Structure 1
Amino acid sequence: MRFNKLDLNLLVALDALLTERNISRAAEKTHLSQSAMSNALARLRDYFDDALLIQVGRRMEPTPRAEVLRDAVNDVLRRIEGSIAAKPAFVPAESQREFRISVSDFSLSVLIPHVIARAHAEGPRIRFALIPQVQDPPRSLDRAEVDLLVLPQEFCTPDHPAEEVFRERYVCVVWRDSALAQGELTLERYMAAGHVVMVPPGANSASVEAWRLHKLGLERRVEVTSFSFASCMALLPGTDRIATVHSRLARKLAPHFPVVLKESPLPLAEMHQMLQWHRYRTNDPGIEWLRRVFMDSAREMDADAGA
């Protein structure tokens, strides 16, 4: 099919090329040979009268014209996928579909095990690819690299629908033999101490509690950073440092380490953990089923923990 003399099949190739910025990976993603993808790029360059992708070192970088095209092409393809490609029904017991979910290691530790178990009970052949969250997770949703985001409300994009799956508060964790384990953990003691902090992968990234502290004008003395929420508690023994940790994760991991939990003196509101999906996938029966599995799993998670 052609539109204004453009073979519309080339839009799929263009979307893959602009996402992967690599001919071999784009070919693999679209199930084409490398020579066929190279030919598609040549035809696209001829149609748009632009190089589109330029070799810079070992990777290809988009031209300004390609940057303009990227979101428009992706948007068109997602509309088609959401409106036409979705099946009219989703039967978990018969499905072999793979769902790609972008998730932090916090949710991976406390919620996802319940999701996987519940999903397996309903659809034992359904597969999951759990994708680590890096800077700007909503971008991966826009590019159809993931089906679902699990992230705090502050990091959701207004461009796509979202729903709350659970709420979380923070507690402080200290080594049981440190001075901080004795007595009340006041704000003054908290701010005077050194801290172990999770810093998400990606330039200029920050966790929710760090972002909220910055808005309150509070700056901690960060002495250790990690890329994992779950590792922070393991880095406390033998020190007088504090880790500010999600309550569910702290309660789950505390029995495995010589630590004690203290009420946080920080004026932090609860974190609202959300599910977010592409607006063109709202009526996708598979996504509807997965959202229901998440909501049921969140209730099960707290029931098992006695919350």
Structure 2
Amino acid sequence: MRFNHLDLNLLVALDVLLEEQNITRAAERLHMTQSATSGVLGRLRTYFEDDLLVQVGRKMQPTPYAQELADPVRDVLLKIRSSITSKPAFDPATSKRHFRLVTSDYLISVLFASVIQKIHQEAPNITFEMLGPGDNSAELLVRGEVDLMIVPERYIIEDHPSQLLFEEEHVCVVWSGNSLVSQSLTLEQYMDMGHVSVGFGRTRHMSIEDWFINQYGFSRRLEVITNDFNTLPQLLIGTQRIATMHGRLARLYAQHLPLRILPPPVKIPVMREFMLWHRTMDNDPMHRWLREQIGEIINRLEQPLAA
């Protein structure tokens, strides 16, 4: 198909070329030879009357014009996918849609285990891929490479729809044999204890460390840093350490491990968990159905807490 003498199939190649900035990797993704991919780049350069990608040392870099093209090209491809390739009517029982989600192991434990179970009963052929949060999570959603992100409020992306799912409190958790604290906790005790915490990404972003520094001017004494929330309570057993973690996850583990849950010595702001998706998926019927299922399950899980 051509539009204004441009083969629209070339837009797919342009999108990949601008992302990879490497002929070899782009050729692999496009399932083409390197010479054919170089030929495609030549046709794109002719049409746009711009080099698009130029060799700088051992790397290829996009020209200023190519940088301006990147987002519009990606948006066009996403709109085509959502409006043309998506069927207006669908049957969840027979759908074979594959969804990619960015979410933490904490949310898998307290929410998505129930989501997967319910959806399997109604749509057994739908498949899921869960990606952990990372430094490039927002970029994946903006590029349409993931369907949903479930993240705290501070990670909301402008110009893309979002929906509040629930609010979460933080609690302190210690091993039941911890002799440093009883049933209450002072700030002095809290700061004197060794802490177990979670860090994400290459920059090792700590879950609530920034808030402590901004609020009190000091940070906790971190003795163990793990890479997921589910190991926090396990790493407390047999130690005198403490962890500050999500209330729902703490209560879940307290049913199975010798743990004590204590209120924090200071009031930690409530965390608001949001569901985000790309704006081009807003009216996709299957995507909308999944969001509705997640919302319904949240409401059902929240009812015992409100009782």
TM-score when normalising by structure 1: 0.87
| Pair 1:216-2:185 in alignment | no
Q: How does 1:155-304 map to 2 (within 5 A)?
A: 155-203=155-203, 205-207=205-207, 209-218=208-217, 219-302=219-302
| 1: CA distance, partners of 2:99 / 2:40 | 29
Q: How does 1:1-307 map to 2 (within 5 A)?
A: 1-3=1-3, 5-21=5-21, 23=23, 26-27=26-27, 29-30=29-30, 32-35=31-34, 36-48=36-48, 49-50=50-51, 52=53, 54=55, 62=62, 64-203=64-203, 205-207=205-207, 209-218=208-217, 219-302=219-302
The question of whether the paired residues in 2 share the 8 Å contact of 1:19 and 1:143 is answered with no
Deviation at 1:25, TM superposition (A): 5.5
Deviation at 1:280, TM superposition (A): 1.6
The residue type paired with residue 100 of structure 1 is R
Q: How many residue pairs end up in the alignment?
A: 304
| 2: CA distance, partners of 1:61 / 1:223 | 42
Is the alpha carbon distance of 1:17 and 1:203 closer, same or farther for their aligned partners in structure 2, counting shifts above 3 Å? farther
Deviation at 1:226, TM superposition (A): 1.3
The residue type paired with residue 77 of structure 2 is L
| 1: CA distance, partners of 2:91 / 2:184 | 53
| 1:190-232 per-position Cα deviation (integer Å, ceiling 9, x unaligned) | 122221111112326342x234333324422222211111111
Is the alpha carbon distance of 1:52 and 1:113 closer, same or farther for their aligned partners in structure 2, counting shifts above 3 Å? same
Gaps of 5+ in 1: none
| 2: CA distance, partners of 1:56 / 1:299 | 55
| 1: CA distance, partners of 2:209 / 2:173 | 16
Deviation at 1:304, TM superposition (A): 7.3
The question of whether the paired residues in 2 share the 8 Å contact of 1:198 and 1:225 is answered with yes
Gaps of 5+ in 2: none
Is the alpha carbon distance of 1:3 and 1:263 closer, same or farther for their aligned partners in structure 2, counting shifts above 3 Å? same
The question of whether the paired residues in 2 share the 8 Å contact of 1:100 and 1:129 is answered with yes
| 1: CA distance, partners of 2:56 / 2:104 | 33
The residue type paired with residue 79 of structure 1 is K
The question of whether the paired residues in 1 share the 8 Å contact of 2:103 and 2:149 is answered with yes
Is the alpha carbon distance of 1:165 and 1:280 closer, same or farther for their aligned partners in structure 2, counting shifts above 3 Å? same
Is the alpha carbon distance of 1:126 and 1:237 closer, same or farther for their aligned partners in structure 2, counting shifts above 3 Å? same
* More displaced stretch, 286-295 vs 71-80: 71-80
Deviation at 1:128, TM superposition (A): 0.8
Is the alpha carbon distance of 1:123 and 1:68 closer, same or farther for their aligned partners in structure 2, counting shifts above 3 Å? same
Percent sequence identity over aligned pairs: 43
